[in-house]
Chain A
Amino acid sequence: MRLFVSEGAPGCLPVLAAAGRARGRAELLISTVGPEDCVVPFLTRPKVPVLQLDSGNYLFSTSAICRYFFLLSGWEQDDLTNQWLEWEATELQPALSAALYYLVVQGKKGEDVLGSVRRALTHIDHSLSRQNCPFLAGETESLADIVLWGALYPLLQDPAYLPEELSALHSWFQTLSTQEPCQRAAETVLKQQGVLALRPYLQKQPQPSPAEGRAVTNEPEEEELATLSEEEIAMAVTAWEKGLESLPPLRPQQNPVLPVTGERNVLITSALPYVNNVPHLGNIIGCVLSADVFARYSRLRQWNTLYLCGTDEYGTATETKAVEEGLTPQEICDKYHVIHADIYRWFNISFDTFGRTTTPQQTKITQDIFQRLLTRGFVLQDTVEQLRCEHCARFLADRFVEGVCPFCGYEEARGDQCDKCGKLINAVELKKPQCKVCRSCPVVQSTHHLFLDLPKLEKRLEEWLGRTLPGSDWTPNARFITRSWLRDGLKPRCITRDLKWGTPVPLEGFEDKVFYVWFDATIGYLSITANYTDQWERWWKNPEQVDLYQFMAKDNVPFHGIVFPCSALGAEDNYTLVSHLIATEYLNYEDGKFSKSRGVGVFGDMAQDTGIPADIWRFYLLYIRPEGQDSAFSWTDLLLKNNSELLNNLGNFINRAGMFVSKFFGGYVPEMVLTPDDQRLLAHVTLELQHYHQLLEKVRIRDALRSILTISRHGNQYIQVNEPWKRIKGSEADRQRAGTVTGLAVNIAALLSVMLQPYMPTVSATIQAQLQLPPPACSILLTNFLCTLPAGHQIGTVSPLFQKLENDQIESLRQRFGGGQAKTSPKPTVIETVTTAGPQQIQALMDEVTKQGNIVRELKAQKADKNQVAAEVAKLLDLKKQLAVAEGKPPEAPKGKKKK
């Protein structure tokens, strides 16, 4: 669940103080929003704090949020607490908001402020002394105390507003204020500034009306409630009636895809994953999956679309990995390129081409851009002091050096940073430096390096950004990061490295050096396109006709928003520059980070072995896409979303709609005679569909997914209210009504199948096969809701789309992937796993692996229940891991295999 707070919003006090009650029972993320941001979609006026529950529901009442936290901790509601909370809402709050407004916004003092709340304060004081209890609802502190304390604290923390004579109130207030959760909440909200901390929030609020004189009239509201105009309804009906006719012809699929003059040409890239690691779910959602949804959507709109990606293969890390695995860098790249390609294939990523950076084209294009920059005076040369290992005959990259930290004396500090004190280190400052490969002592030598003269290009960059950013769909974080780089002033960037595994530098005296990833990784998009088509320049040197969307996680923004545009602008060769830079925030795993070295989290290749289909992974990752803020992967939540949103909402609706056609109408879509109610539903669905388009055009992928779920909720409600299963047994009119409801519902299901296509391509295809949706309707999504399954259309065989996920299945997966233990080992434990076991233990484990392997094979041969197989496979993998550990081998990554 997510708590939305705002600077200085008084309601945050009780909520934060109560939040501790829910700790360990639910995961709570906290987001700060502006005082005027509308967080709750159905409320016209802004409201904070707000708690968004995992179900999607919102709690926008401060008391209700606190109550919820208390309920989670097992507390039970009682009359006395209810009474206090009702009093707080109806009596205390109006008085208190007036007092705070006078004090903070209008600068009034003394009795002017106190006057409005005195009666309420006296009421609390009397109640406390009359009951002779330390707390409002008894002997222990409870919900009522927290809510009232939180409401009163901003005012009463100033002793001037806590009248001496109210002694019971006094001691109650002091007791609570010294409690740890309350203290912390107070510090967070008031920040040691006292009541003035509320000013930014209260200033934005309307002046509270005086508590008196809120007369109630019995006059009925005259105005008609109409969220839909007659025109909107009429237009929706017309579009619906036109049906399949209004679909344009399908664009012919060309190969290779090239820009077409006069069409919208969309070029989509996702950040090139680094080849030396298996990608985790965070990498997948940040880059390839997000870009894939957009690419699929773009094709549904019939835009001319090219989506490309590939592995980024050059660099130190590849060399290191090669040394580790005893392979050549090229062999490492070949091995991991296949692993990556397999994972993305399993996730159904619809690349037009998935290439790699270690190609002759990469060398050619990089060197060309470099030469042009050099000729135009945008490259600097400078001398750098660097450690060189005489024994290995090479300059040492930072991560190849270890030594004593110059700051804290830690013995195993790395060349770039000390693991103990965390300070950044310049490698030449390390005491007693050691080459990590041969352990001999390197010497300091000066060496030449090349620098990209960014300060000289800064002005061009700003001009370009000034033209590009307004009206574009750059995400706020991308804008922010780019702006903050510019604000701090650009500095020359070193673009060469002392390595062998890279693009050679075509300049005399630099024969031993290669280009640094800062410079050439982003050129990979160009070279990958060049390997796809020799007409690559029609995409990359065509800024007038090509719309370039680049997807990445936010750490990649400087490469794409600053460095590459500078290189391209300096090269003066009319390059296509990014029009829309789409950056995600980070995805966390359960409570911590994904960590390969600690084996925490789900990595691309393991997702396949969980028994959970790729589309479910896609759905959940997109549902929690870190769009605008960090988010976290949670197994429990995955189960919840699968069982509630997919199974009960979407799957249930689509299945019912299809089943009614099969069961009641022999598989033929019945005649539909639309009533005004049905027409209104048409218009509602059309509105939601248009909303979906608006969001996806702005690449708000996560939000657009909610439109799909909203439509299916509408659909479920429509079926529920109209009860076709009853009407089918009724009179002729009832039967006709059942037919209309069924026909409309199955058409909504058809629409959903197309809207779902970018998110869950396999499920989408399954629905379309079940409904026998005509081919053009499967591949084109218009902005109107059409009748694509007219009366008389025959559908296919309908079957359930989703499987329920069970608790024990999810629990075993959670344990397998080490969630929850993430915090316990702050240091990588690679070394610890090398403790080897005795030969007997190893033999015993080997026997168990063999045994378990047989069980799995047998089950698979018998075509046993999927969940059962998955559970046994999980056991097998676990045993294999134990065996690997016992043998002192690093646990082997399961091979990327294709699985149905």
Chain B
Amino acid sequence: MAAAAELSLLEKSLGLSKGNKYSAQGERQIPVLQTNNGPSLTGLTTIAAHLVKQANKEYLLGSTAEEKAIVQQWLEYRVTQIDGHSSKNDIHTLLKDLNSYLEDKVYLTGYNFTLADILLYYGLHRFIRLTQPPQPPATTTLINEEPFTWRQNPPPARRLTS
């Protein structure tokens, strides 16, 4: 999926009504967003984070310092590792690593759905056939999720006494 198409999808799911126009730069077709009131923005994750803020959904960038850093780490992972590798071997290692990372998590930051999940989902989409019947263990949490319904954590079974 071209970056521009991906960003348009993201806009839609964020509830942004007016669609932006994207140009592409260089041999890697890096997306560029020309904003009305400032300099242009270049780069998939930069623009995605910008759109999230525009939609007033900052929580998708993480709420604590730790979450914010983790979200950005995985965004970087998306553009350097997932987009950067093509050999079957590399992809296998990459999926194995992700699988083992997600083993005890619901989302990339743990329990909160973030922009990192959206962009990794898009990035991985081309590697994973959804129709595959025996689904791989932990990555399934990622790929079987409808990406834009935020899953509510159930209330803790017991109140914390204080």
**Chain A residues packing against B (C-beta within 8 Å):** 41-45, 53, 55, 57, 59-61, 63-65, 67-68, 71-72, 77, 79, 82-83, 85-87, 89-90, 93, 212, 214-218, 220-228, 647-648, 652, 655-656, 659-660, 680, 684, 710, 713-714, 717, 720-721, 723, 725, 800, 803-804, 806
Q: Which 7 A-B pairs have the closest CB atoms?
A: A225-B136, A64-B73, A68-B69, A71-B65, A86-B43, A713-B104, A42-B101
* Nearest-CB residue, chain B, relative to A222: B88
Query: B41 contacts A725, CB within 8 Å?
Result: no
Query: B157 contacts A655, CB within 8 Å?
Result: yes
Find the residue from B104, B128, B132 having the highest chain A CB count within 10 A: B104
Q: How far is the CA of A214 from the CA of B84 in the complex (A)?
A: 7
Query: A804 contacts B99, CB within 8 Å?
Result: no
Query: B101 contacts A216, CB within 8 Å?
Result: no
Q: B95 near A: Cβ within 8 Å?
A: yes
Query: A723 contacts B154, CB within 8 Å?
Result: yes
Give the residue of A43, A647, A725 whose beta carbon is less than 8 angstroms from that of B160: A647
Query: A45 contacts B46, CB within 8 Å?
Result: no
Q: How far is the CA of A803 from the CA of B159 in the complex (A)?
A: 11
Residues of A within 8 A of B103 (CB): 42, 684, 710, 714
Find the residue from A43, A225, A228 having the highest chain B CB count within 10 A: A225
Query: B137 contacts A680, CB within 8 Å?
Result: yes
Q: How far is the CA of A373 from the CA of B64 in the complex (A)?
A: 65
Q: How far is the CB of A712 from chain B (nearest CB, A)?
A: 9
For chain B, the bracket of interface size reads 35 or more
Q: How far is the CB of A501 from chain B (nearest CB, A)?
A: 52
Q: B8 near A: Cβ within 8 Å?
A: no
Interface residues of B in 78-111 (CB under 8 A from A): 79-80, 83-86, 88, 91-93, 95-101, 103-106, 110
28 residue pairs from A and B, CB less than 8 Å apart:
A41-B100, A42-B97, A42-B100, A42-B103, A45-B93, A57-B70, A61-B72, A68-B66, A71-B65, A85-B72, A86-B44, A87-B42, A90-B80, A214-B85, A220-B126, A223-B88, A224-B132, A224-B134, A225-B136, A226-B136, A659-B157, A659-B158, A680-B137, A717-B106, A720-B106, A725-B154, A800-B158, A800-B161
Residues of A within 8 A of B158 (CB): 652, 655-656, 659, 800
Query: B50 contacts A720, CB within 8 Å?
Result: no
Residues of B within 8 A of A86 (CB): 42-46, 75-76, 79
Query: A82 contacts B49, CB within 8 Å?
Result: yes
Q: How far is the CA of A629 from the CA of B136 in the complex (A)?
A: 37
Query: A803 contacts B97, CB within 8 Å?
Result: no
Q: B112 near A: Cβ within 8 Å?
A: no
Q: How far is the CA of A45 from the CA of B95 in the complex (A)?
A: 13
Q: How far is the CA of A656 from the CA of B154 in the complex (A)?
A: 12
Q: How far is the CB of A666 from chain B (nearest CB, A)?
A: 17
Residues of A within 8 A of B98 (CB): 42
Query: B141 contacts A61, CB within 8 Å?
Result: no
Query: A714 contacts B104, CB within 8 Å?
Result: yes
Q: How far is the CB of B39 from chain A (nearest CB, A)?
A: 8
Q: B139 near A: Cβ within 8 Å?
A: yes
Query: B127 contacts A221, CB within 8 Å?
Result: yes
Q: How far is the CB of A45 from chain B (nearest CB, A)?
A: 7
Query: B68 contacts A71, CB within 8 Å?
Result: yes
Q: How far is the CA of A82 from the CA of B52 in the complex (A)?
A: 13
Residues of A within 8 A of B86 (CB): 214-217
Query: A216 contacts B83, CB within 8 Å?
Result: yes
Query: B68 contacts A60, CB within 8 Å?
Result: no
Query: A83 contacts B73, CB within 8 Å?
Result: no
Query: B65 contacts A68, CB within 8 Å?
Result: yes
Residues of A within 8 A of B161 (CB): 800, 803-804
Residues of B within 8 A of A93 (CB): 80
Q: B60 near A: Cβ within 8 Å?
A: no
Q: How far is the CA of A725 from the CA of B157 in the complex (A)?
A: 10
Residues of A within 8 A of B44 (CB): 86
Query: A57 contacts B154, CB within 8 Å?
Result: no
Q: How far is the CA of A645 from the CA of B101 in the complex (A)?
A: 18
Q: How far is the CA of A44 from the CA of B134 in the complex (A)?
A: 24
* Nearest-CB residue, chain A, relative to B139: A225
Find the residue from A55, A60, A220, A806 having the highest chain B CB count within 10 A: A220
Q: B142 near A: Cβ within 8 Å?
A: no
Q: B156 near A: Cβ within 8 Å?
A: yes
Query: A652 contacts B157, CB within 8 Å?
Result: yes
Residues of B within 8 A of A217 (CB): 86
Q: How far is the CB of A62 from chain B (nearest CB, A)?
A: 9
Query: A79 contacts B49, CB within 8 Å?
Result: yes
Residues of A within 8 A of B127 (CB): 220-221
Residue-wise interface mask of B (142-162) relative to A, using a CB-CB cutoff of 8 A (1 in contact, 0 not): 000000000001101110111
Q: B129 near A: Cβ within 8 Å?
A: yes
Query: B69 contacts A71, CB within 8 Å?
Result: yes
* Nearest-CB residue, chain A, relative to B95: A225
* Nearest-CB residue, chain A, relative to B110: A57
Given contacts A41-B100, A89-B79, A713-B104, 12 further A-B contacts (CB under 8 A): A42-B101, A43-B97, A61-B72, A63-B76, A64-B69, A68-B66, A79-B50, A83-B46, A90-B43, A221-B128, A720-B106, A725-B154
* Nearest-CB residue, chain B, relative to A1: B66
Q: B61 near A: Cβ within 8 Å?
A: yes
Residues of B within 8 A of A83 (CB): 41-43, 46
Residues of B within 8 A of A222 (CB): 88
Query: B93 contacts A85, CB within 8 Å?
Result: no
* Nearest-CB residue, chain B, relative to A44: B93
Q: How far is the CB of A742 from chain B (nearest CB, A)?
A: 12
Residues of B within 8 A of A65 (CB): 69
Query: A79 contacts B76, CB within 8 Å?
Result: no
Q: How far is the CA of A218 from the CA of B84 in the complex (A)?
A: 13
Q: How far is the CB of B97 from chain A (nearest CB, A)?
A: 5
Q: B22 near A: Cβ within 8 Å?
A: no
Query: A61 contacts B99, CB within 8 Å?
Result: no
Q: B77 near A: Cβ within 8 Å?
A: yes
Residues of B within 8 A of A725 (CB): 154, 157
Q: How far is the CA of A282 from the CA of B86 in the complex (A)?
A: 50
Q: How far is the CA of A648 from the CA of B99 in the complex (A)?
A: 24
Give the residue of A53, A72, A227, A803 whose beta carbon is less than 8 angstroms from that of B100: A227
Q: How far is the CB of A128 from chain B (nearest CB, A)?
A: 14
Query: A79 contacts B41, CB within 8 Å?
Result: yes
Residues of B within 8 A of A212 (CB): 27
* Nearest-CB residue, chain B, relative to A60: B73
Q: How far is the CA of A220 from the CA of B103 in the complex (A)?
A: 22
Q: How far is the CA of A684 from the CA of B162 in the complex (A)?
A: 35
Query: B65 contacts A72, CB within 8 Å?
Result: yes
Q: Contacts A53-B66, A800-B161; is A225 near B96 (CB within 8 Å)?
A: yes
* Nearest-CB residue, chain B, relative to A676: B134
Q: Contacts A42-B97, A82-B45; is A227 near B137 (CB within 8 Å)?
A: yes
Q: How far is the CA of A225 from the CA of B85 in the complex (A)?
A: 18
Residues of B within 8 A of A85 (CB): 72, 76
Q: How far is the CA of A226 from the CA of B158 in the complex (A)?
A: 36
Q: How far is the CB of B4 from chain A (nearest CB, A)?
A: 15
Residue-wise interface mask of B (22-42) relative to A, using a CB-CB cutoff of 8 A (1 in contact, 0 not): 000001101000000000011
* Nearest-CB residue, chain A, relative to B109: A57
* Nearest-CB residue, chain B, relative to A663: B157
Query: A221 contacts B70, CB within 8 Å?
Result: no
Query: A710 contacts B162, CB within 8 Å?
Result: no
Q: How far is the CB of B58 from chain A (nearest CB, A)?
A: 10
Residues of B within 8 A of A72 (CB): 65
Q: How far is the CA of A221 from the CA of B77 in the complex (A)?
A: 19
Q: How far is the CA of A64 from the CA of B50 in the complex (A)?
A: 18
Query: A804 contacts B76, CB within 8 Å?
Result: no
Query: B70 contacts A59, CB within 8 Å?
Result: yes
Give the residue of A67, A87, A710 whose beta carbon is less than 8 angstroms from that of B72: A67
